[in-house]
């Protein structure tokens, strides 16, 4: 690179080609975030169909097979289309700016890893229009339901999962390469913001388990089309094997969706408590411990398949062990807030709600970890309540917190605080009205994935559906706030938030198209 070329800084290209051919981490971050928001609304629409059908006992709106397609597509779209790409989008936007790098390490691959995603989801969504209907076997696609008894659209589902997996793996490689090789001088590993740390660890999880997911869907493909019997008992295979392979991927996968959330919250709470993050080192080690433990707890999803008592005990204790590093994190966030000068802007509200509600989801997780109790809770709405508490007011709230927190840095304008708070309160009330009654439904014995239910479940389902519609509708406020903020508003300062620390707040607002083309002054890099 000659100096003359360096002087020739250029802005983005014009028109659609800017987005199609971009290798700029900020553009790709925006693409990921918009894509995930679109998927969030699509998956949310499916959830509204589910809640509308469950509004009353009896079958009123959709037939049971279509209901099953809705639960399946809702799960797949939310996990692979909304939550995961949203975090990759945040990583793309923020990680280079947080570590003082000019861009991601592999910008061309970055473009590719985004642009294969719309094809994957177009393929997956197109199954809804097919004669056989969309996949109807649940997002966990247990064999033989997803092989012997699957609709013929399952092949499209398999290839869509392959493409999503390839996208995630490329994204993960890119993030690891960026974090390990592109840090500015002076940015040692233990000076990195926690969001970067959690993403680094998440990226390793992705590298480790997405290929296993690709493997398990490949086995399904072979069983369906090439006469193998991986999961077919008649040919000497075993359906339980499917669950082992799937959950070996599946459990780390749920941490892939929550570890970056920990990073986001660890960035926001110190800013609005105007204190340093309490226990930075322990946060890093806790994250690494959680990631390690995620590989040895998978069978707690399948306590009822008939494991020996020794196996059940091992997976029970290992699962409970996860509460220790998670507890370290929760206590650290609380300690960060303790005696801080707190203010309650929208990102902080979402972050505090995250800490409270995620912890509740964690506690129900502990209940489910108790093997004998799990025999009662297994496949009931209690499980649904548990994982929605950790994923919606957990992962999704943290994404919203992140969006509000960094929106002024992205757009250069402050978002409308009143509308932001309205969005928060409606979401907060909505999400609790939606999911809290599901605990009671589950404990009373209502099974998951059913379009109709016994009459005694009617009241709580009615309440839950009302909460669902409220939560669903309030997300349109977020869309409105974001668009309004892009169009204009109060000019944001470079630091945006009074207590904000970190390299991303040292660049102009909105962040210029190219940042840190020359490394930042090492004096700007603080101890954590």
Which of 294, 326, 336, 474 is labelled catalytic?
326
Which of 25, 275, 300, 439 is labelled catalytic?
300
Compute the least distance from the CB of residue 507 to another protein, in Å: 22
Task: At 185, give phi and psi (nearest 5°).
Answer: -55, 135
Compute the least distance from the CB of residue 173 to another protein, in Å: 5
**Counting contacts by CB under 8 A, is residue 177 touching another protein?**
yes
Rounded distance between C-alpha atoms, residue 476 and residue 487, angstroms? 17
Compute the least distance from the CB of residue 110 to another protein, in Å: 13
Compute the least distance from the CB of residue 234 to another protein, in Å: 3
* Among 16-24, 72-80, 177-185, 413-421, the segment contacting another protein (CB under 8 A): 177-185
Residue 513 Cα to chain centre, angstroms: 27
Give how many residues touch another protein by CB under 8 A. 39
Which of 32, 197, 199, 255 is labelled catalytic?
255
| 286-325 positions binding another protein, by CB under 8 A | 306-308, 311
3-state helix, strand, coil in the chain (%, to 5): 70, 0, 25
Compute the least distance from the CB of residue 229 to another protein, in Å: 8
**Counting contacts by CB under 8 A, is residue 334 touching another protein?**
no
Contacts of 190 (CB under 8 A, 6+ apart): 280, 281, 284, 528
Is 301 one of the catalytic residues?
Answer: yes
Structure tokens at 52: 């509308």
Q: Which residue has the tokens 């603080």?
A: 526
Residues 180-219, one symbol each (x = binds another protein by CB under 8 A, - = not), give xxx------------------------xxxxxxxxxx--x
Tell me the C-alpha to C-alpha distance, in Å, between residue 240 and each of 223, 377, 454, 520. Answer: 15, 20, 30, 53
Nearer to another protein, 15 or 227 (CB): 227
For Cα atoms 17, 21, 24, give the angle at the middle one, nearest 5 degrees.
Answer: 115
Nearer to another protein, 107 or 510 (CB): 107
Which of 25, 251, 423, 439 is labelled catalytic?
251
Is 326 one of the catalytic residues?
Answer: yes
Peptide bond between residue 144 and the one before it cis (omega within 30 degrees of 0)? yes
Burial category of 13 from C-beta neighbours within 10 Å (exposed 0-12, middle 13-18, buried 19 and up): middle
Nearer to another protein, 173 or 450 (CB): 173
Which of 113, 167, 336, 474 is labelled catalytic?
167
Residues 155-174, one symbol each (x = binds another protein by CB under 8 A, - = not), give --------------x--xx-
**Counting contacts by CB under 8 A, is residue 522 touching another protein?**
no
| Phi-psi domain of 238 (left: phi exceeds 0; alpha: psi -120 through 50; beta: other) | beta
Is 329 one of the catalytic residues?
Answer: yes
Is 253 one of the catalytic residues?
Answer: yes
The length of the chain is 528
Structure tokens at 340: 């801080």
Is 527 one of the catalytic residues?
Answer: no
* Among 226-234, 323-331, 334-342, 480-488, the segment contacting another protein (CB under 8 A): 226-234
Q: Give the HSE-up count for residue 448: Cα atoms under 13 Å, Cβ half-sphere.
A: 23
Residue 491 pairs in a beta bridge with: 413
Where would I find the H helices in 22-153? 25-53, 64-76, 84-99, 107-126
| 233-292 positions binding another protein, by CB under 8 A | 233-236, 238, 240-241, 244-245, 248-249
Nearer to another protein, 232 or 461 (CB): 232
Compute the least distance from the CB of residue 207 to another protein, in Å: 5
Rounded distance between C-alpha atoms, residue 244 and residue 238, angstroms? 10
Among 55, 80, 230, 497, binds another protein (CB under 8 A): 230
Compute the least distance from the CB of residue 237 to another protein, in Å: 8
Residue 447 pairs in a beta bridge with: 380
Is 266 one of the catalytic residues?
Answer: yes
Contacts of 341 (CB under 8 A, 6+ apart): 273, 274, 275, 499
Which of 74, 183, 386, 423 is labelled catalytic?
74
Compute the least distance from the CB of residue 305 to another protein, in Å: 8
**Counting contacts by CB under 8 A, is residue 3 touching another protein?**
no
**Counting contacts by CB under 8 A, is residue 105 touching another protein?**
yes
Is 448 one of the catalytic residues?
Answer: yes
Q: Which of 204, 488, 254 is nearest to 394 (CA)?
A: 254
Describe the crossing of helices 346-369 and 397-411 by its angle, rounded to 10 degrees. 150
Compute the least distance from the CB of residue 399 to another protein, in Å: 26
Rounded distance between C-alpha atoms, residue 443 and residue 441, angstroms? 6
Nearer to another protein, 176 or 316 (CB): 176
Contacts of 423 (CB under 8 A, 6+ apart): 346, 400, 474, 475, 477, 478, 481
Which of 168, 271, 294, 336 is labelled catalytic?
168
Which residues have a catalytic role annotated? 74, 103, 139, 167-168, 251, 253, 255, 266, 300-301, 326, 329, 448
Residues that bind another protein (CB under 8 A): 1, 105-106, 169, 172-173, 176-177, 180-182, 207-216, 219, 227, 230, 233-236, 238, 240-241, 244-245, 248-249, 306-308, 311
């Amino acid at each position: 690179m000659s100096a003359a070329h360096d002087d020739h800084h250029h802005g983005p290209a014009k028109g659609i080609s800017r987005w199609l051919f971009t290798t700029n981490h900020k553009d790709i971050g925006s693409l990921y975030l918009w894509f995930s928001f679109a998927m969030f609304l699509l998956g949310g629409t499916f959830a509204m169909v589910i809640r509308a059908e469950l509004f009353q006992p009896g079958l009123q709106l959709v037939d049971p097979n279509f209901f099953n397609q809705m639960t399946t597509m809702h799960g797949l779209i939310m996990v692979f289309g909304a939550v995961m790409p949203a975090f990759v989008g945040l990583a793309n936007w923020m990680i280079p700016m947080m570590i003082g790098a000019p861009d991601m390490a592999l910008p061309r691959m970055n473009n590719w890893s985004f642009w294969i995603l719309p094809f994957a989801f177009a393929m997956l969504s197109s199954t809804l229009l097919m004669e056989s209907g969309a996949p109807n076997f649940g997002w966990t696609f247990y064999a033989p339901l997803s092989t012997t008894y699957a609709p013929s659209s399952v092949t499209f589902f398999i290839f869509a999962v392959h493409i999503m997996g390839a996208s995630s793996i490329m994204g993960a490689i890119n993030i690891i390469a960026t974090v390990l090789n592109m840090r500015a001088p002076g940015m040692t590993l233990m000076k990195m913001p926690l969001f970067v740390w959690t993403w680094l660890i998440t990226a390793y999880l992705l590298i480790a388990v997405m290929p296993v997911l690709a493997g398990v869907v490949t086995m399904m493909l072979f069983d369906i089309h090439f006469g193998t019997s991986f999961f077919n008992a008649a040919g000497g295979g075993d359906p339980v094997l499917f669950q082992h392979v799937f959950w070996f991927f599946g459990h780390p996968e749920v941490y892939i969706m929550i570890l970056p959330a920990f990073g986001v919250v660890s960035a926001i709470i110190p800013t609005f408590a105007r204190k340093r993050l309490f226990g930075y080192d322990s946060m890093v080690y806790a994250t690494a411990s959680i990631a390690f433990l995620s590989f040895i707890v998978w069978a707690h999803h399948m306590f009822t398949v008939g494991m020996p008592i020794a196996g059940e005990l091992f997976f029970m204790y290992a699962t409970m062990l996860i509460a220790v590093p998670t507890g370290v994190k929760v206590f650290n966030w609380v300690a960060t807030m303790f005696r801080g000068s707190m203010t309650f802007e929208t990102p902080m509200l979402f972050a505090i709600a995250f800490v409270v509600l995620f912890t509740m989801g964690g506690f129900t997780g502990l209940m489910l970890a108790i093997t004998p109790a799990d025999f009662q809770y297994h496949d009931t709405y209690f499980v649904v309540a548990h994982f929605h508490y950790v994923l919606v007011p957990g992962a999704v709230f943290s994404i919203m917190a992140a969006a509000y927190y960094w929106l002024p840095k992205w757009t250069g304008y402050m978002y409308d605080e009143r509308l932001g708070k309205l969005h928060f309160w409606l979401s907060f009330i909505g999400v609790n009205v939606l999911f809290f009654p599901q605990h009671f439904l589950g404990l009373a014995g209502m099974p998951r994935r059913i379009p109709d239910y016994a009459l005694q479940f009617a009241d709580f389902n009615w309440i839950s559906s009302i909460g669902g519609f409220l939560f669903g509708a309030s997300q349109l406020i977020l869309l409105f706030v974001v668009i309004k903020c892009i169009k204009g508003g109060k000019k944001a300062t470079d630091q945006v938030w009074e207590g904000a620390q970190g390299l991303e707040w040292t660049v102009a607002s909105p962040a210029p198209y190219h940042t840190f083309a020359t490394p930042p002054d090492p004096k700007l890099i603080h101890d954590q």
